[in-house]
Amino acid sequence: MSAKPLAGLRVIELARILAGPWAGQTLADLGAEVIKVEAPEGDDTRQWGPPFIDRDGTPVAAYFHAANRGKRSVVADFRTAEGQAKVKALLADADIVIENFKVGGLKKYGLDYDSLRAEFPRLIYCSITGFGQDGPYAHRAGYDYIIQGMSGLMSITGPAEGEPHRVGVAVTDLFTGVYSTTAVLAAVIERSRTGLGAHVDMSLLDCAVSVMANQAMNYLATGTPPGRTGNWHPNLVPYQVFECSDGHIIIATGNDGQYQRLCRALGLEALITDPRFLANADRVQHRAELSEALTAATRSWSKAGLLKACEDHGIPAGPINTMDEVFADPQIIARGMQLDLGAHPGVRSPFVFNGERSVADRPAPVLGEADRKGASPLCAQARIHPPGYLKSKEARFT
């Protein structure tokens, strides 16, 4: 299997900020040709700094670089007939459109799915919105922070006292980008059977509720909404942050054997036979007492010493790294997670096929780069497709 399994697929990205661009970048890392169509002022996140990274003399926010690797940028003003025609020309041999305008936002330009489906029946058109194409909130704009609150995520995040906390990265945008990638590739497979494209309706709120996973099921099974437990796991004990003499580490026991080994490593054998802590269900019931007993012991250990003891005893544990420690970690280095695309850093997507990493080899583009360099995808003679591209594409993706 090639490390570029989507080579030959063409994606037109009419998206900005994060969820849509994340889907586009994921497809680019997997080998698709992704053309990012930007308004004359560019994707908003080009200005979301500091920090900024210089791109051919133009300062562009690091935020933009995080979600737009491997794409080509063209500029089109949808408000003009020329801009609309330019987009339609791009769609002539495109496979996928990714857009994240508000519901109905592209209709007035003739670029919505219903306006395009007759002319481009094979097009897979992915609409990413805050709340989906129907329902009482469909007209609202969606923002990750708000979705984290509405989905229940913030109701279970943070310490039990004080205000709810958001996750420190825009996880609902990112999950929606990944789910969108899965959905459009499923539509590509379906098109190979039917010859027809599809409209993929992706909602940030839908995706956020979906990934509530065991917490949602805990509620559905009991009728009791779960609350915030800080760094404690709702279903496993001990599975939490522990204090050491010089900081904190995570210990995550997933079964009785691991718990018993932890007790032995800490010299707390009496806790193994304590009836309050025999099985996980017992430990969940008596979480506070067990946590206090274990923490009293871990406070006398250094982080490095306790991590080594856990490693030696087969107890799952790990450090709490800052970002500089992450990229200095030997496992991260061995897996090649930090990219160097010329003068531009990046973080690799997690795909490995037959030992080969799959990642785009170009940094995020300068605004309108393809237009200015005379390499606009509108010019057939300037395209980078190899001979027989369309024929081979038909064989692979239809």
Q: Write the pLDDT tens digit of every residue in 162-203.
A: 999 999 999 999 999 999 999 999 999 999 999 999 999 999
Note the pLDDT of residue 280: 97
Tokens 């799915």: give the residue.
113
Tell me the backbone φ, ψ of residue 172, rounded to 5 degrees: -70, -35
pTM for the structure as a whole: 0.91
Q: Write the pLDDT tens digit of every residue in 134-173.
A: 999 999 999 999 999 999 999 999 999 999 999 999 999 9
pLDDT at 344 over 70: yes
Q: Which pLDDT band holds residue 385 (cuts at 50, 70, 90)?
A: very low
Q: Which amino acid, one-letter code, is at 379?
A: C
Residues 6+ apart with CB under 8 A from 213: none
Q: Write the pLDDT tens digit of every residue in 95-119.
A: 999 999 999 999 999 999 999 999 9
Residues 6+ apart with CB under 8 A from 56: 366
Contact call for residues 83 and 110 (beta carbons, < 8 A): no
pLDDT at 377 over 60: no
pLDDT at 394 over 60: no
pLDDT at 333 over 90: yes
DSSP string spanning 231-257?
A: TS-SS-SSEEEEEETTEEEEEE--SHH
Q: Write the pLDDT tens digit of every residue in 200-220.
A: 999 999 999 999 999 999 999
Catalytic residue among 29, 95, 112, 173: 173
pLDDT at 390 over 70: no
Q: Which of 202, 201, 205, 200 is nearest to 137 (CA)?
A: 205
Tokens 């769609």: give the residue.
91
For residue 316, count other CB atoms closer than 10 A to its CB.
14
Task: Provide, rounded to the nearest whole percent, the portion of the chain with pLDDT above 90.
Answer: 89
Determine the average pLDDT of the residues in 295-313. 97
324 is catalytic: no
Note the pLDDT of residue 372: 78
Q: Which pLDDT band holds residue 397 (cuts at 50, 70, 90)?
A: low
Q: Which pLDDT band holds residue 384 (cuts at 50, 70, 90)?
A: very low
Mean pLDDT, rounded, of the chain: 93
Q: Write the pLDDT tens digit of every residue in 226-285.
A: 999 999 999 999 999 999 999 999 999 999 999 999 999 999 999 999 999 999 999 999
Strand order in the sheet with 33-38: 72-75, 33-38, 10-14, 96-99, 124-129, 198-203
Determine the average pLDDT of the residues in 338-345. 88
Note the pLDDT of residue 354: 92
Distances in Å between the Cα of 190 and the Cα atoms of 31, 123, 200, 319 are: 20, 12, 12, 44
Q: Which pLDDT band holds residue 361 (cuts at 50, 70, 90)?
A: confident
Q: Which amino acid, one-letter code, is at 114?
A: D
